[in-house]
């Protein structure tokens, strides 16, 4: 699958990403320079990647919703560094008051705030929310975060622990993915 990427420089943690003045996805070079930790991808390309990767795990009525046209795909290391600094997993679980979906929204909020604080980063991070079944909690539908990293891998994040799991740990039943 060809990838519509825009080169990105810098890191999300510490050094901030250099601005790419007036570059559109349609005009972007599709080659990422060696050493760039992250990439930019269009929501259309991400939609195809998700539907292909998670085939058989999405319900027939699954909804995928993207709030922007393009997203920054962090490296897995960048994702782990941001999660390491996360405060969301330090909250106490409270049934119906602060449970799995609240943890997932908090992680998404932290990812959004991190991209905002980066300053020059033109796009939000490709980290969202999903509802489905996972082998670390197989008996019920569960809200988690998901991410696509610069190596085109789909990951699920347990928002109550910040653990990052490969997509194969999803047992199916995904009915909603938001970013």
**Residue 42 CA, distance from chain mean position:** 13
Give the total number of structural domains in the chain. 1
pLDDT per position as a tens digit, 77-101: 989 988 888 766 666 655 665 567 8
Residue 53, Cβ neighbours under 10 Å: how many?
A: 16
pLDDT of residue 160: 86
pLDDT of residue 18: 34
Contact criterion met (CB below 8 Å) for 18 and 38: no
Number of helices (H), then strands (E), belonging to the chain: the values are: 3, 9
42: in domain: yes
SS3 of 2-49: the string is CCCCEECCCCCCCCCCCCCCCCCHHHCCCCCCCCCCCEEEEHHHHHHH
pLDDT of residue 155: 97
pLDDT of residue 135: 94
Global pTM?
0.76
71: in domain: yes
* Whether residue 23 has pLDDT greater than 80: no
Helix, coil or strand: residue 65 = strand
Helix, coil or strand: residue 137 = strand
pLDDT per position as a tens digit, 25-79: 333 332 334 455 788 999 999 999 999 999 999 999 999 999 999 999 999 998 9
69: in domain: yes
1: in domain: no
Range of the domain at 39: 6-178
CA distance 34 to 134: 35
Looking at residue 168, the DSSP 8-state letter turns out to be G
Contact criterion met (CB below 8 Å) for 118 and 16: yes
* Whether residue 125 has pLDDT greater than 60: yes
Q: If 0-12 CB within 10 Å is exposed, 13-18 middle and 19+ buried, where does residue 164 land?
A: middle
Residue 117, Cβ neighbours under 10 Å: how many?
A: 10
Helix (H) or strand (E) holding 172: strand 170-178
CA distance 5 to 73: 10
CATH number where 19 lies: 3.30.460.70
φ and ψ at residue 156, rounded to 5 degrees: -115, 140
């Amino acid at each position: 699958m060809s990838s519509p990427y825009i080169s990105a420089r810098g890191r999300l943690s510490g050094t901030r990403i250099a601005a790419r003045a007036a570059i559109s996805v349609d005009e972007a070079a599709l080659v990422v320079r060696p050493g760039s930790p992250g990439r930019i991808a269009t929501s259309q390309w991400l939609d195809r990647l998700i539907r292909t990767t998670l085939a058989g795990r999405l319900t027939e009525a699954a909804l995928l919703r993207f709030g922007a046209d393009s997203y920054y795909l962090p490296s897995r290391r960048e994702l782990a560094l941001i999660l390491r600094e996360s405060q969301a997993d330090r909250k106490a679980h409270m049934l119906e008051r602060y449970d799995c979906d609240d943890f997932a929204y908090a992680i998404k909020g932290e990812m959004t705030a991190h991209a905002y604080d980066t300053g020059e980063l033109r796009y939000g991070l490709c980290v969202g929310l999903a509802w489905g079944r996972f082998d670390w909690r197989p008996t019920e539908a569960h809200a988690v975060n998901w991410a696509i990293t610069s190596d085109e891998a789909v990951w699920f994040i347990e928002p109550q622990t910040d653990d990052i799991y490969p997509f194969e740990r999803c047992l199916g039943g995904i009915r909603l993915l938001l970013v």
